Structure 1
Amino acid sequence: MREFTNPPVELPPPVGGLADVVFEHAHTDPGAVALGRKDDAGRWRDVTSGEFRDEVLALAKGLLARGVRFGDRVAIMSRTRYEWTLFDFALWSIGAQVVPVYPTSSAEQCFWMLYDAEVTAAVVEHEDHAMTIATVIDRLPRLRELWQLDSGAVRELYDAGAHLDDEVVHRHRRAVTPDSVATVIYTSGTTGRPKGCVISHGNFMWEADTVIERWEPVFHSRRGDEAATLLFLPLAHVFGRMVEVAAIRGRVRFGHQPQLNAAALLPDLAAFRPTFILAVPYIFEKVFAAARRKAEKEGRAGPFEKAVDVAVKYAEALEARAWGIGPGPSAALRLQHQLFDKLVYAKVRAAMGGRIRNAMSGGSAMDRRLGLFFAGAGVQIYEGYGLTESTAAATANPPDRTRYGSVGQPVPGVTVHIADDGEIWLRGPNVFQGYLNNPKATDETLHDGWLATGDLGFLDEDGYLTITGRKKEILVTSGGKSVSPGPLEERVRDHPLVGQCVLVGNDRPFVAALVTLDQEAVDHWLQMRAKPRPPDTELVRDPDLEMEVRRAVVAANTLVSQAEQIRTFRILTQPFTEEHGLLTPSLKLKRKAIEKAFADVVEALYRT
């Protein structure tokens, strides 16, 4: 199939902007819980619709008093926290445009985004961020204000605007239309300087309302309960912003968690007890790996692997029944599943807060078997696909008919078209307005309303999309063989000891791989074998460890023809990190930077 459209469930909004819903909800039900917020003692407290409206209004007045005007661009550089959402809706209330900046951005990255967007004011989280911007402030002549959240910025602005009448904000708010620019989000820059994606209020409203209308059943643990989610995705990323907007518009209680590491995230999942979460595959991989390591430490590795196998078979049987090609789980399988639910699956769910029965995943492809395991363990993951340029989700698996390993059908109202070269093109009300100050890039990406994504994929007979790679990431060996690295890399990463995998081979005689290790998994592996921890340079030459990685490579090679297989690999002593410029803030590999950083290693691979 070359093209598929799902009929819309929501029409593009005819009037208004993103902030209107804050005032509408406060008017109709001011006592309803809108958000959860941690107090100084670390306890979660409810924030009602009326309270949130009052805070947004007070902050909007402060921003006006300090010179922020309709159409001005204001940067926010912070981790995911309550104040970011507060500033988003306050700025949207007065028609300002938000420019999100990753909290890990370098001074030069900050400079480019703030300079290109002609930012007039910036909000930072703490002193380190303020110092980062201070190093380039002499090259930012339009930047007039810099507020620091951890130094009382919100209270300062409340006080600054206290003398203004509420109607001043409402006059600005009523001037906002669906075509007004809501945000300029800079791409991660995997292949060059980041480009500013111009996204309108209408893009976000339509996207959020469509997700709410079609996937609302996914928000609940059981029918009729409160919908709640913990937002831990970076708000500098379009996925996190879409979650924020949809939660406010859909009356979903949500809280903020600024740290993605398990030590901080798991206690908050237990305390906040969300009914669903939205995450990237990395989070689910970590939860699964932690459960497997715990089972091994307790001497229950065999039963755990059996439980995984049962969960996968159970979910596959349910999938087959949903598609009318199977009777569903057998009596024996149901009995096994029931037993392991008490012994294994309930513990996995408890680690995620206990109430989660559904989740949505995006950002990168999820392994089919991992999705099947979670479904069999009682947490249905709905995988989707989108870009910054499509205001997050363009496709997603529907609530009633999941096809594991695919990224689902087009979101209702979106059309997916597969071009002659396999590139995915998108069309719909969620497609952005273009790149800021970059008509050349806009013309290369937008074609008469169609968004050329740069991704490769195919549609099956039911309109489900499967991603196969990136156009710019295709490797072409010196023998002329084209290789899509993504599927091979993902299969190598399936091994618990492997952290990351990058294929090389452009203009080379064969494909090779650079592999990094998952340090937690390696520590556990050494402990289980009573091996001392050697220096990293010796660890990567451990013959037993090398054999484990070789098994992962051999398993990956079964996916492709001999000419496409990984011939050799090298285990690296250190992971690819954002700090070293080898990952984007959304954890995507910067392939050219990695090849450059490890040029000597790559050369050595082709000399042996």
Structure 2
Amino acid sequence: MDSVINQIVTTPPPAGYHATFARLGKTETIELRELAASAERLAVRLRELGVGQGDRIGILAANCLEWVLLDLAALRCKAVTAGLEPGKFEPDEALLARYDLKLLFTDQPSTAAGVRPISEARVLADQPAAPPPEVRYDSAEATTLKFTSGSTGVPKGLAASVGSIDSSLRAVQAMFAHGPGDHLFCFLPLALLQQRYWIYSALCFGHDVTVSTYEAAFTAMRQVRPTVVMGVPGFYETVKRHLAAQTDPQVAAKEMFGDRIRYLWTGSAPAGPDMLRFFTNLGLPIYEGYGMNETCIVAKNYPGASKEGSVGRVVPGKEVLFDADGVISVRSDFPVARRYEYGATAHSMGAFTADGTVRTGDIGYLDEDGFLYIQGRADDVIVLANGKKIIVRPIEERMAASPAIEHCVLFCPTQTQLVAVVSPTSEPADAAAIAEHLERTNQELERDERIARVVIAEPRFSIENGLLSSQYKPKRRQILEQYRREIAEKGRTHA
């Protein structure tokens, strides 16, 4: 079966489907065939600017049509897109030098040489041009320099292979059969390669797609009425709290998502069972999966093959291996990469073996039906002074099941007592509700697993204050640094 990427760069997309781009106060829609034609014209102009095969084009901007045009144009040039998340990088000469960027397109002001306003992409794409030379990819070639979410220090860069992109898209298509009648909705940064998968899917398999900014997501969903929403657990937890407070959550859900939802997609971070059950009971089936930058998608629940508590069956082309401690490694028919390009430390370099197998650092197991369960991070297993090993994720999930708690992160400063740092769902925090939930949770836990104290974060964890990643995952190391004194103190709960 030919590559999805090769189909995109050699064959016009199916007629009659559209891409919509939503920002606060602005929504625009373009037919997929015109999107592809505009990207071809832009590819010609990029070549005229000196962009050749293997050159890197940096994109540092919020989600927009120009972002997608540049990414598709880079594919037609056999150039490499470096997706750079706003807020993590500065559009200066040091950035171009660090990642060997031929050009950098951004929506931020900059006077650095080689930096261009992203609005220029639209101007260049509108200029008439003969078709660029045909290109084709083999599975080992890279199209994208992608970066980790940055939850643990400096983002690490990977050059993602065509084979890994193709195998992931084919696996998703086999499970969910996206096609005519579907409208996929995404809002996470396009700098995250998986968000661009849904553009590639539309161009290859024929369906509508909307790319929104997070700020415009709720307004845009009501307008476009998607059939599929791509989100992370933090997003759905926020929605759940809003819907649960309504008189009729089912009616409110239709008002928020529209009346055409086929399913909801979630991944990138652990999803709470209460949240998954809430949406499924509303008639909005939600499917959790598992993967990471270094592996792409590894496992996914899907219609007809879903188990509560699991992250799904391992997808074709992937093999999950376990060491003696239950730590997961993933072998791929088409590895994403075999090494880090940037930002690797001596410890992180050990994530890859020579054949591209990745040691994930997650602990888990497969059940008798082939469903994968993730129990937590090996690094986050707390070993008490008595030798007892505590896997923190299940306890953190129990705490975060409270309507008063958005996130919970456990620490053990003395190797004898667990301390929880919780981010409340509201400010000021409902300290009484948190204390009540703590008492109830401790009654359900074994003695060594019980939480001795709670530190209530003030302000709440957010992307802006550096305590959540762009995928709404708590940054454990940064949380420890910020609340080290309170975690170490003995005595009362901090609010």
TM-score with structure 1 setting the length: 0.75
Tell me if 1:170 matches 2:133.
yes
Matches for 1:120-519 after TM superposition, within 5 Å: 120-127=102-109, 130=110, 144-149=113-118, 152-158=119-125, 162=128, 165-166=130-131, 169-171=132-134, 173-174=135-136, 176-216=137-177, 219=178, 226-259=181-214, 261=215, 264-295=216-247, 343-391=248-296, 393-433=297-337, 434-436=339-341, 441-446=348-353, 448-519=355-426
SS in 2 for 1:25: coil
Q: What's the offset of the Cα at 1:387?
A: 0.4
Tell me if 1:57 matches 2:44.
no
Q: What's the offset of the Cα at 1:62?
A: 1.2
Task: Identify the match of residue 71 of structure 1 among 54, 65, 69.
Answer: 54
Distance 1:76 1:470 in 2: 32
Q: What's the offset of the Cα at 1:19?
A: 5.8
Deviation readout 1:76-135 (Å, 9 max, x if unpaired): 112222222211110011011111111121549x888654422221111233xx4xxx6x
Does the C-alpha gap of structure 1 residues 485 and 69 become closer, same or farther in structure 2, counting only changes over 3 Å? same
Q: Is the 8 A contact 2:198 2:209 kept in 1?
A: no
Distance 1:39 1:197 in 2: 29
Q: Is the 8 A contact 1:78 1:103 kept in 2?
A: yes
Deviation readout 1:330-362 (Å, 9 max, x if unpaired): xxxxxxxxxxxxx54243233211211311110
Distance 1:283 1:40 in 2: 18
Aligned partner letter, 2:301: N
SS in 1 for 2:213: coil
Deviation readout 1:35-60 (Å, 9 max, x if unpaired): 22459974553x22331221011111
Q: Is the 8 A contact 2:8 2:200 kept in 1?
A: no
Deviation readout 1:401-452 (Å, 9 max, x if unpaired): 2111210010122211222111111122353112115595445423534221
Distance 1:486 1:230 in 2: 29
Q: Is the 8 A contact 2:69 2:121 kept in 1?
A: no
Distance 2:228 2:372 in 1: 24
Q: Is the 8 A contact 2:320 2:328 kept in 1?
A: yes
Q: Is the 8 A contact 1:19 1:90 kept in 2?
A: no
Q: Is the 8 A contact 1:181 1:199 kept in 2?
A: yes
Q: What's the offset of the Cα at 1:499?
A: 2.5
Distance 2:209 2:41 in 1: 21
Does the C-alpha gap of structure 1 residues 49 and 578 become closer, same or farther in structure 2, counting only changes over 3 Å? closer
Distance 2:452 2:237 in 1: 27
Distance 1:246 1:430 in 2: 19
Q: Is the 8 A contact 2:59 2:104 kept in 1?
A: yes
Distance 1:472 1:585 in 2: 21
Aligned partner letter, 1:361: T
Where relative contact order (Cα < 8 A, 6+ residues apart) is larger, the structure is 1
Does the C-alpha gap of structure 1 residues 607 and 291 become closer, same or farther in structure 2, counting only changes over 3 Å? closer
Distance 2:273 2:354 in 1: 33
Deviation readout 1:297-334 (Å, 9 max, x if unpaired): xxxxxxxxxxxxxxxxxxxxxxxxxxxxxxxxxxxxxx
Distance 1:439 1:514 in 2: 28
Distance 1:198 1:571 in 2: 40
Matches for 1:527-546 after TM superposition, within 5 Å: 539=428, 545-546=430-431
Distance 2:133 2:451 in 1: 61
Deviation readout 1:472-496 (Å, 9 max, x if unpaired): 2222233433222222222211111
Q: What's the offset of the Cα at 1:285?
A: 1.3
Q: Is the 8 A contact 2:290 2:311 kept in 1?
A: yes
Q: Is the 8 A contact 1:569 1:605 kept in 2?
A: no
Distance 1:583 1:39 in 2: 23
Q: Is the 8 A contact 2:96 2:103 kept in 1?
A: no
Does the C-alpha gap of structure 1 residues 21 and 239 become closer, same or farther in structure 2, counting only changes over 3 Å? closer
Deviation readout 1:535-584 (Å, 9 max, x if unpaired): xxxx55xxxx3221012223433553211211111223211233333222
Distance 1:37 1:580 in 2: 28
Q: What's the offset of the Cα at 1:604?
A: 1.7
Aligned partner letter, 2:447: Q
Q: Is the 8 A contact 2:167 2:317 kept in 1?
A: no
Does the C-alpha gap of structure 1 residues 351 and 17 become closer, same or farther in structure 2, counting only changes over 3 Å? closer
Does the C-alpha gap of structure 1 residues 158 and 373 become closer, same or farther in structure 2, counting only changes over 3 Å? closer
Map of 1:528 onto structure 2: none
Map of 1:527 onto structure 2: none
Distance 2:206 2:308 in 1: 29
Choose between structure 1 and 2: higher strand proportion.
2
Does the C-alpha gap of structure 1 residues 606 and 468 become closer, same or farther in structure 2, counting only changes over 3 Å? farther
Aligned partner letter, 1:33: Y
Does the C-alpha gap of structure 1 residues 39 and 266 become closer, same or farther in structure 2, counting only changes over 3 Å? closer
Tell me if 1:105 matches 2:92.
no
Choose between structure 1 and 2: higher helix proportion.
1
Deviation readout 1:221-259 (Å, 9 max, x if unpaired): xxxx61111221221223313333223322221011112
Distance 2:163 2:219 in 1: 36
Aligned residue pairs, count: 490
Q: Is the 8 A contact 2:319 2:332 kept in 1?
A: yes
SS in 2 for 1:372: helix
Distance 2:97 2:148 in 1: 15
Distance 2:378 2:328 in 1: 10
Task: Identify the match of residue 84 of structure 1 among 67, 73, 76.
Answer: 67
Q: Is the 8 A contact 1:44 1:272 kept in 2?
A: no
Q: Is the 8 A contact 2:279 2:286 kept in 1?
A: yes
SS in 1 for 2:245: helix
Q: Is the 8 A contact 1:481 1:564 kept in 2?
A: no
Distance 2:335 2:473 in 1: 22
SS in 2 for 1:553: helix
Map of 1:6 onto structure 2: none
Matches for 1:566-585 after TM superposition, within 5 Å: 566-585=451-470
Mark the runs of 5 or more structure 2 residues left unpaired by the alignment: none
Map of 1:21 onto structure 2: 8
Mark the runs of 5 or more structure 1 residues left unpaired by the alignment: 1-10, 138-143, 296-342, 523-538
Does the C-alpha gap of structure 1 residues 380 and 148 become closer, same or farther in structure 2, counting only changes over 3 Å? same
Q: Is the 8 A contact 2:301 2:311 kept in 1?
A: yes
Aligned-residue CA RMSD in angstroms? 2.7
Q: Is the 8 A contact 1:18 1:89 kept in 2?
A: no
Q: Is the 8 A contact 2:139 2:334 kept in 1?
A: no
